[in-house]
Amino acid sequence: MRTILIEPTENPKVIKFVADYNLIPGSLELDRDSDISEIPLAQELFNYPFVERIFITANFVAVAKQDTVEWEHVAESLKNVIEDELLANPRIYLQKKKEMIEIYAEMTPNPNAMKFVSSKMLMDGFVEVKSKNEAEGVPLAQAIFTEFDFAKEVFISDNFVAVTRDNSVEWHQVMMAVRGYIAEYLQSGGVISNIESQKHENPVEKIINRDYTEDEQKISDILNEYVAPAVENDGGKISLLEYDAANKTAKMLLQGACSGCPSSTATLKGGIENILKQFVPDLVEHVEAVNG
């Protein structure tokens, strides 16, 4: 309960209710025609028909009354109202409930990358920050790089933030700290990005979606049927980026969690390359990875 003292003034129609802290910066002078929709204290005080005006500044609330009542009969009631209202809204104005943002961590196939998924959308599209030096214009990424020395890359998309670590730590050592930091940053209304997000269709995807040659289409069809479903289950995406017929080499674009994953090379050599050699041996002898 807030401590409120009643103090008379030189004007017998006005009395002061003094708090033990500063209520607001500046001052407010209110009458019954004022907009008090965001000031619950004033709403409650004006419920008393004898209250004419309210003045709030520094650490006190001054109330002006009509001549129909005496302060000795009503001052304590007003004091109780002010104490209750300051307990609910210490800074006079209505305290709006903060939107609770839940964050949970999600592993990716890349052991160096961890996704921190938000219960609310963060942006429409994505922003990719490859290093601390490239973080200008993306305050959330700047904050993560500043707080955590092990952070190498930050990728923000839709409802998640993906952080890539270096080899100085393991995720089980720092996951909770990163999760809590991101949650607190978003909860406090921190700015995510001041630069325009990229749409999910980027120039590389336009290359992928070009009209394939007959040979490229054969390779792409095999990828879509035998490889892509398994890769997508791991949170990644694989597409034919380029085909070098002279060297029988297919270059694959790895995106999502597969990008930069140490196991991607082994996957290509051990699985995808063998599949393509089996189905189109006259077209493919080698497979190379390009991280998106």
Q: Are strands 5-8 and 14-18 parallel, antiparallel or unpaired?
A: antiparallel
Give residue-wise pLDDT tens across range 100-110.
788 999 988 78
pLDDT digits 0-9 by tens, 173-195? 999 999 999 998 998 888 999 99
What is the average per-residue pLDDT within 95-102? Answer: 71
What phi and psi values does residue 287 have, to the nearest 5 degrees? -125, 135
The tokens describing 220, both together, are 């792409």
Task: Say if residue 269's pLDDT is above 70.
Answer: no
Q: Are residues 124 and 156 in contact, defined by beta-carbon separation less than 8 angstroms?
A: no
Find the helix or strand (DSSP H, E) in which 126 lies.
Answer: strand 126-129
Q: Lowest mean pLDDT of 61-75, 237-251, 263-277, name the range.
A: 263-277
Give strand pairing partners of 8. 15
The whole model's pTM is what? 0.46
Judged against a pLDDT cut of 70, whether residue 258 lies above it is answered with no
Least confident of 129-143, 226-240, 273-287: 226-240
Give residue-wise pLDDT tens across range 32-52: 999 998 899 999 999 999 999
